[in-house]
Amino acid sequence: MDASQPAEFDLIRAVAGGDQQAFLAIYDRHAPRVYGLTLHILGDPMLAEEVTQDTFLKLWSRARSYVPERGSFDVWLLTIARRTALDRLRLEGRRPLLSDGQDPEEAWRSLPDKSRDPEEIRWESMHFALRALPEQQQQVLELAYYQGLSQSEIADELGWPLGTVKTRMRAAMQALRREWNTDGVD
């Protein structure tokens, strides 16, 4: 982050106090991640735009409930975005295509200040770790995490035995756990 920019927590506190400029500063910082996630889940730019707005409006009304000790702001905001998008997916009773048609590498390159933000590099590593998984493991995680399906629903969706789904889910998560937790987090 640019040293001249206000610290994230100062902005969140200002948002909790009703400061619209602080709110827009947070939007400018986080909108690409929120929109990227909601677009991936919903597969429809119009719906993703609506859910992006809903997510930020929830931030506006609930900024006071963010507790830094319980986790990073990005994770908190993106968790709200994911839940809002999955609720919308259920409401619409539809399931989008698994691919959003974006070129991931291109999108990563378009992020500003990436070279100065180690967190960005770490997130990027998760993206590539996910893509390095065997395709069937990726499918299981995709349907569970980004489409909100349970293991039984995934088994029905893919026509696989439930035991196979469980095995692939576990293998995928174990591989990501090894990859993600190697740099001192775990």
Partner 1 sequence: MTDEHALANQELAAYAVDALDPAEVSGLEAHLRTCKICQADLGAYRRVSSGLLSAVPPVYPRPAVRQLLQRRLTHQTQPARSAWRWSPWQLASAGALALIIVLGIVSSLQLRSLLESQAELRSRSDSQQIAVAMLAYPSTQSIGFAQNGISGSLLVDKQRGLIAVFAWHLPVPPAGKTYQMWLIDPQGHRTSGGLLAYETGYPFVTAVITSPSPLSNFNGLGVTVEPLGGSPAPTGPRIFGVDF
Q: Which residues, numbered 131-170, are part of the site for partner 1 (CB under 8 A)?
A: 141, 144-146, 148-152, 154, 166, 169-170
Q: CB of residue 35 vs partner 1: minimum separation in angstroms?
A: 4
Sorted by sequence, the CB contacts under 8 Å of residue 26 that are 6+ apart come out as 8, 11, 12, 15, 56, 59
Smallest gap from residue 166 Cβ to partner 1 (A): 7
172 burial (CB, 10 Å; 0-12 / 13-18 / 19+) is buried
* Contact flag: residue 18 with partner 1 (CB under 8 A): yes
Q: Is 174 in the site for partner 1 (CB under 8 A)?
A: yes
52 touches partner 1 by CB under 8 A = yes
Closer of 40 and 66 to partner 1 (Cβ): 40
**What is the maximal distance between C-alpha atoms in the chain?**
55
Q: How far is the CB of 100 from partner 1 (least distance, A)?
A: 8
Map tokens 């989008």 to a residue.
96
Residues of this chain, 57-116, that bind partner 1 according to CB under 8 A: 57, 60-61, 64, 71, 74-75, 78-79, 81-82, 91-92, 100, 102, 104, 107-108, 110-111
Three-class secondary structure assignment of 98-157:
CCCCCCHHHHHHCCCCHHHCHHHHHHHHHHHHHHCCCHHHHHHHHHHHHCCCCHHHHHHH
Site string for partner 1, 24-43 (x = CB under 8 A): x--xx--xxx-xxx-xx---
- Contact between 20 and partner 1 by CB under 8 A: the answer reads yes
